[in-house]
Structure 1
Amino acid sequence: MNILETKNLKKIYSSRFSNVQVQALENVNFSVEKGEFVAIMGESGSGKTTLLNLLATLDKPTSGKVILNGKDITHLSSKEVSSFRRNHLGFVFQDFNLLDTFSNRDNILLPLVLNGTSVSEMEQRLNPIATSLGIISLLNKFPYEISGGQKQRVALARALITHPELILADEPTGALDSKSTKDLLDLLTQIHENGQTILMVTHSTLAASYASRVLFIRDGVVFHQIYKGKKTKEEMYQQISDTLTVMSTGGAFHV
């Protein structure tokens, strides 16, 4: 069952002061099945960040559709967008996006507070997530009191607290050291194995090797994809590296 579909997705940016147009995405079509862990890779300027912004309802396409659980989210009104993000999407960012004036507990619970969730239900949701992510002891601390790896665990808990249909992760390991990176990727794998759908944009071959499928974007189109299947992480890593080499040398290697 597909939880996410993009259909003929196109995005063209126009300058306010000239007739110059830049086509960031051209006729992008792909789908993500419920419970899948998909990584999106591509060089800077390839269109992957634009794609993520469209999926996150942070921008609207020039044409085409983004369908989440059967709903075309490209036509949401400005009033509907914020509520839709809180209720259907979870976000994990490279720079964590935590509020230093809030405790870690309050950062995690903020989406539920904005939705008017009762205190008892918030606590019922928080405890199992905090336990599974190993952050119970961090809840009463503030983001500036903990490490980068711990901040990302808190951010992941915030993404999960609303029981989202889809988690969008934007370079989630980009600000982490090697140990924290492995810890986070292991957590994402665990969450994926528990049925959570994840779509991750990354430059990291290591991070992408944890995904069940990798989509490669070049010049605004889907250039290639790799399914993990029964490959080991090491085999997946090598195949991703080989594909990136083909892309960087201008090879004609298509989906």
Structure 2
Amino acid sequence: MPLLDVRNLKKIYATRFGGVQVQALADVSFSVEQGEYVAIMGESGAGKTTLLNILAALDKPTSGEVLLRGKNIVRIPDKQLSAFRREHLGFVFQDFNLLDTFSVKDNILLPLVLSRKAVPEMEQRLDPIAAKLGITDILPKFPYEISGGQKQRAAVARALITQPELVLADEPTGALDSKASGQLLRLLDEINAAGQTILLVTHSTRAASHAGRVLFIKDGEVFHQLYRGSASNEAMFQRISDTLTALATGGDFS
């Protein structure tokens, strides 16, 4: 059984007065195995954000299923969704989503606080993650006192502290300079190599080139996919670039 199984997702949005309907997702199906690193790409308006919101249990599809270890998250009652997200999903977003009135440490521990974990357990989880991400020295600081790269590493720590089954990353390098982006991508490589399953939504060919598989969304459907195999990041980068060009121009995908 795959870790994540997405079946025939369809999402239709109606305008405020219901006069016009917009189809964001037409028929999306794919699966993600435990330990995979999958990137999702596509032009603006292709349906990537809608798909991510549904996978994150922030939105519900018009039809279709999203199974996480066989549990259909589409059917989880609204009052249980927040707890489900905290317990099973980790989130890394472009704008970090850190609270400026909380220290870095408190930002990272917040999901565990909300889950009412004991303080000793929180400390036990925090220390090795902070050390691995190289942020132990900034834990007492506040987000406005640290760099963008440090903020993103803190956001990664917050995503990992709950020991999630799946990490969802939405344009995680979008607000970073090239140096910090490179550091974050190497960090995600290491996290994946340690067994963490990652699903990355990105416009960045460089970011997607670190994934083991890339899904391309077009007109609300999975239009094409690439498998890394034994290819290097550089070779994967070129294959992705060629595919995006073909996607934009209607060229050959063979």
TM-score (norm 1): 0.98
Aligned twin of 2:128 = 128
Aligned twin of 1:86 = 86
CA deviations 1:77-103 (Å, max 9, x no partner) are: 111100000000000000000000000
How far apart are the structure 2 equivalents of 1:166 and 1:16?
34
Aligned twin of 2:66 = 66
Q: How do 1:109-128 residues align onto structure 2 when only pairs under 5 Å count? A: 109-128=109-128
Q: How do 1:148-159 residues align onto structure 2 when only pairs under 5 Å count? A: 148-159=148-159
Unaligned runs of 5+ residues in structure 2 are: none
Aligned twin of 1:47 = 47
Count of matched residue pairs: 254
**Which amino acid in structure 2 is aligned with residue 134 of structure 1?**
G
- Identical residues among aligned pairs (%): 69
Q: How do 1:191-206 residues align onto structure 2 when only pairs under 5 Å count? A: 191-206=191-206
How far apart are the structure 1 equivalents of 2:46 and 2:183?
28
Aligned twin of 2:179 = 179
How far apart are the structure 1 equivalents of 2:164 and 2:62?
26
How far apart are the structure 2 equivalents of 1:161 and 1:118?
13
CA deviations 1:174-217 (Å, max 9, x no partner) are: 00000100000000000000000000000000000000000000
Instruction: Give secondary structure in 2 for the equivalent of 1:163.
Output: coil
8 A contact 1:246–1:253 mirrored in 2: yes
1:216 aligns with 2:240: no
How far apart are the structure 1 equivalents of 2:210 and 2:127?
27
How far apart are the structure 1 equivalents of 2:148 and 2:16?
39
Aligned twin of 1:139 = 139
How far apart are the structure 2 equivalents of 1:141 and 1:250?
50
Q: Once superposed, which parts of structure 1, at least 4 consecutive aligned residues long, lie more than 6 Å away?
A: none
> How many Å apart are 1:155 and its aligned residue?
0.2
How far apart are the structure 2 equivalents of 1:230 and 1:77?
42
How far apart are the structure 2 equivalents of 1:220 and 1:29?
11
Aligned twin of 2:38 = 38
**For residues 252 and 77 of structure 1, do their structure 2 counterparts lie closer, same or farther at Cα, with a shift above 3 Å needed?**
farther
Instruction: Give secondary structure in 2 for the equivalent of 1:2.
Output: coil
> How many Å apart are 1:250 and its aligned residue?
2.6
Instruction: Give secondary structure in 1 for the equivalent of 2:226.
Output: strand
Aligned twin of 2:226 = 226
> How many Å apart are 1:253 and its aligned residue?
4.1
How far apart are the structure 2 equivalents of 1:10 and 1:123?
42
Aligned twin of 1:244 = 244
> How many Å apart are 1:7 and its aligned residue?
0.5
Aligned twin of 2:11 = 11
> How many Å apart are 1:16 and its aligned residue?
2.5
8 A contact 1:92–1:159 mirrored in 2: yes
CA deviations 1:147-187 (Å, max 9, x no partner) are: 00000000000000000000000000000000100000000
Instruction: Give secondary structure in 1 for the equivalent of 2:173.
Output: coil
How far apart are the structure 2 equivalents of 1:126 and 1:75?
32
**Which amino acid in structure 2 is aligned with residue 189 of structure 1?**
D
How far apart are the structure 2 equivalents of 1:143 and 1:175?
14
8 A contact 1:40–1:214 mirrored in 2: yes
Instruction: Give secondary structure in 2 for the equivalent of 1:248.
Output: helix
1:167 aligns with 2:170: no
Greater displacement, 11-20 / 100-109 = 11-20
How far apart are the structure 1 equivalents of 2:91 and 2:205?
21
> How many Å apart are 1:18 and its aligned residue?
4.0
